[in-house]
Amino acid sequence: MPTARTKTTRTTRTARTTRVHDDAPQTTAAFERLHTLPEGPEREQLRADLVRVWLPMARRLAGKYRNRGEDSDDLRQVAALGLVKAVDRYETARGAFEAFAVPTINGEIKRHFRDHAWTVHVPRRVQELRNRVRVARRELQARRPGEPSLADLAAQCGLSEDEVADGLKALDAYSALSLDAELQARPTAEDGPTLADVLGSEDGAFDTVDAREAVKPVLRALPERESRILYMRFFQDMPQRRIAEELGISQMHVSRLINRTCTRVREQVTVDHGAAA
């Protein structure tokens, strides 16, 4: 026969099991009615009402993820999306709606962080490695100050050292450094070199390479005299006077041939580029 203490314990356990938050309304009857209604305005209105009364819970869950680099309004919208999915998928036979909705909403928020919050996109496997390495490093640092070694981290989270190294690299991919960030902390007030100081600039030679490749087939198709004139002028850097002497024609004629040939080449390259696009 159960004692008074046993009854008290069971009562306490039952109370803990059925306890809900202040923002968890009683909507079991509304959900049962929702499942009996056909598609139409009445069902859509009841669905919207259920989402509205459970929104405070969704916002509370979104608040747990604040200060993690994402805008609070965006997180609340993601949580609301998770709530809508929970309302659409919930069946009263599964138990309390809150117990079903909470993991659905949390999963939606975590998916948002995984897919959208990373500055540099990394594969999901590496994101999971990052999370395991981050937790393991925090646990080790709580026991012993300082940066743990790869071997210590690998033993703590059950990964290989190569996997730990990938996880550590992913820690730096979550957020980007400012271009004004100093590469190395300096003990004096003097500013040190920043990340922007060591970044390369666009090389104009790439445009030259593209232009040369574009004109090659057009130059090969030129008549021999026009091709020779362009070669002497632009590749041998000969003045027009010397070209005229080499070919036995006037300098004015050489000038006209160069202008006409360059115009033809330019127009042909433009046509070919437009056709390729």
- Tell me the per-residue pLDDT of 141-153, one tens digit each, with 9 for 90 and over: 888 888 888 888 8
The CATH 1.10.1740.10 portion of the chain extends over 21-116
CATH superfamily of 205-276: PhyR, sigma-like (SL) domain (1.20.140.160)
Among 136, 101, 131, which Cα is nearest to 114's? 131
Architecture of domain 21-116: Orthogonal Bundle (1.10)
Across 111-138, average pLDDT: 71
Give the pLDDT band (50/70/90) at residue 245: very high
pLDDT of 191 = 58
Alpha helix (H) ranges present in 121-191?
Answer: 124-143, 150-157, 161-171
Question: Tell me, what's the pLDDT at 46?
Answer: 92
Fold of 124-180: Arc Repressor Mutant, subunit A (1.10.10)
* Contact yes or no for 240/255 (Cβ under 8 A): yes
Query: What confidence tier does 16 reach under pLDDT thresholds 50, 70, 90?
Result: very low
Could you give the C-alpha distances from 274 to 136, 268, 269, in angstroms and in order? Answer: 56, 10, 8
Tell me how far the alpha carbon of residue 118 is from its chain's centroid.
5
Cα gap 244→226, rounded to integer Å: 12
For residues 20 and 23, the model is more confident at 23
Q: Give 243's pLDDT tier (boundaries 50, 70, 90).
A: very high
Specify the pLDDT at position 175: 52
Question: Degrees (nearest 5) of the Cα angle 133, 139, 141?
Answer: 100
Segments of the chain assigned to CATH 1.20.140.160:
205-276
Average of per-residue pLDDT across 203-223 = 75
Q: What is the DSSP letter of 148?
A: P
Name the pTM for this structure: 0.41
**Does the pLDDT at position 230 exceed 50?**
yes
- pLDDT tens figures, 186-211: 444 455 566 556 555 566 566 666 77
Among 28, 71, 72, CA closest to 53:
28
The DSSP output letter for 69 is S
Greater confidence (202 vs 221) lies with: 221
